[in-house]
């Protein structure tokens, strides 16, 4: 049998709503799913608390983003293995990117896995619906950093996160090889598109009552904004996409885990 890698991404929505109930749903769900690499967005880490520790305990290795908001909000990577190397990529690309509101970094961490060395990138660009220009620049900045890190190496790249952009937007079109930006072109295979062609797969949708409860976000039509992607060489993705499913898209005992639906994918050696 081919070696496999289970990868997940989820925005856990800080401590909003009934965190104690949501925490139980997320903790139990991850224990059942047993992912190997997890990209988490909107984790809260302060001197007094660590949301990832509440979810995963000591069962995983954790990397927290160095730059966080004054409230401790940022991104984290959770892994079965210790990281071989870590680099944070600066996403403060214009004056409109305010680190007090948005940490403005992506994290690239290299791991030795059963499918070979993997560079796992937790990418979280700006959330504001009018900031597609910033998301374009942030995509290019992250892609350039990734290309530098993999240059001359036999290294798989898995890109994951809450991109806050629909598949048809320019920043996502750039990632999936449909257009170039900033004199650069790359190609990453969107695992959902590969496994579910033609299926919208919305991850931020009014199907989730937690969004309905948020007066501002409830104005936005359903969108797919959470992604897992596999970097391609000249022939296609370097890891075979065995499956991709939405994550935490059903209530448990009447409780939704977070306001996003995440994504989980099983990847194999080609």
**Rounded to an integer, what distance in angstroms lies between the CA atom of residue 77 and that of residue 232?**
22
Please count the structural domains in the chain.
1
The phi and psi torsions of 117 (rounded to 5 degrees) equal -65, 135
Cβ neighbours of residue 161 closer than 8 Å, sequence gap 6 or more: 9, 39, 41, 75, 106, 121, 122, 123, 124, 226, 227
CATH number at residue 236: 3.60.10.10
pTM of this structure: 0.96
| pLDDT score, position 220 | 80
Structure tokens at 146: 């990734």
Per-residue pLDDT at 108: 98
- The answer to whether the beta carbons of residues 108 and 121 sit under 8 Å apart is yes
88-103: string of b/e by CB count within 10 Å (b at 16+)?
A: bbebbbeeebeeeebb
**Domain that residue 126 falls in:** 4-268
Per-residue pLDDT of 80-109, as tens digits, reads 999 999 999 999 999 998 877 888 889 999
Which pLDDT tens digits describe the chain residue by residue (270 residues)?
Answer: 579 999 999 999 999 999 999 999 999 999 999 999 999 999 999 989 899 999 999 989 999 998 899 999 999 999 999 999 999 999 999 999 887 788 888 999 999 999 999 999 999 999 999 999 999 999 999 999 999 999 999 999 999 999 999 999 999 999 999 999 999 999 999 999 999 999 999 999 988 988 866 656 667 889 999 999 999 999 999 999 999 999 999 999 999 999 999 999 999 998
C-alpha to C-alpha distance for 227 and 163, rounded to whole angstroms: 7
pLDDT of residue 100: 77
């Amino acid at each position: 049998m081919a070696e496999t890698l289970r990868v997940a991404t989820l925005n856990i929505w800080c401590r909003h709503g009934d965190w104690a109930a949501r925490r139980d749903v997320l903790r139990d769900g991850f224990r059942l799913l047993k992912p190997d690499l997890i990209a988490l967005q909107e984790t809260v880490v302060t001197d007094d608390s660590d949301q990832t520790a509440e979810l995963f305990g000591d069962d995983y290795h954790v990397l927290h983003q160095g730059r966080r908001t004054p409230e401790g909000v940022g991104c984290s990577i959770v892994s079965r293995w210790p990281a071989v190397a870590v680099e944070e990529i600066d996403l403060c690309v214009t004056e409109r990117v305010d680190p007090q509101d948005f940490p403005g970094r992506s994290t690239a961490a290299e791991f030795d896995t059963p499918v070979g060395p993997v560079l796992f990138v937790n990418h979280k660009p700006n959330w504001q619906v009018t900031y597609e220009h910033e998301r374009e620049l942030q995509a290019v900045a992250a892609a350039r950093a990734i290309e530098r890190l993999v240059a001359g190496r036999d290294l798989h790249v898995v890109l994951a996160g809450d991109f806050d952009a629909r598949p048809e937007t320019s920043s996502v079109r750039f990632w999936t090889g449909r257009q170039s930006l900033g004199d650069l072109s790359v190609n990453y295979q969107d695992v959902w598109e590969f496994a579910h062609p033609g299926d919208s797969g919305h991850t931020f949708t009014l199907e989730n009552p937690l969004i309905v409860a948020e007066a501002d976000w409830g104005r936005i039509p359903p969108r797919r904004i959470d992604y897992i992607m596999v970097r391609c060489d000249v022939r296609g993705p370097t890891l075979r996409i065995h499956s991709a499913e939405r994550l935490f898209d059903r209530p448990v005992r009447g409780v939704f885990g977070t306001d996003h639906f995440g994504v989980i994918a099983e990847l194999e050696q080609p």
